[in-house]
Amino acid sequence: MNINIDYEWEMARLQIAKLLDDATNRFDIASSYNFKEIGTVTSNGATEVEYEHGYNGVPTGYIVVGQNGAGSLYYSKASDSSKIYFKSDVTGITFYIATF
């Protein structure tokens, strides 16, 4: 990964953490959660796609931080200790996601 992409993901992570922290005003979510980029998910309609998440355990959730068209991304089944599984309601859209 190049420095610009690393910087953009870090800025997105910090902005998400700030929004969530402002909303709850209870704790510093940036230090409570380990946001991790797993990159892009290119939708294939009702076909499940799976990605290695790289956590030592099961991730808590994900946030779509960008996409190149209209559509929804959703879990197709529960994540496990190595993979996260998605489906989409459209085909050919790229979703940029961060997991935590």
Q: What is the pLDDT of residues 51-94, one digit of tens each?
A: 888 888 888 888 888 888 898 999 999 999 899 999 988 888 88
- Full residue range of the structural domain in which residue 20 is found: 3-99
Sheet-wide strand order for 73-77: 49-52, 83-88, 73-77
- How many domains would you assign to the chain? 1
Give the C-alpha separation, 49 to 34, whole Å.
Answer: 23
- Encode pLDDT of 11-25 as tens digits: 777 777 777 666 555
Query: For the residues of 1-40, what is the DSSP string, one character each?
Result: --HHHHHHHHHHHHHHHHHHHHHH-SS-HHHHS--EEEEE
Measured torsion, CA atoms of residues 39, 42, 47, 48, in degrees rounded to the nearest 10? 0
The whole-angstrom separation of Cα 66 and Cα 52 is: 20
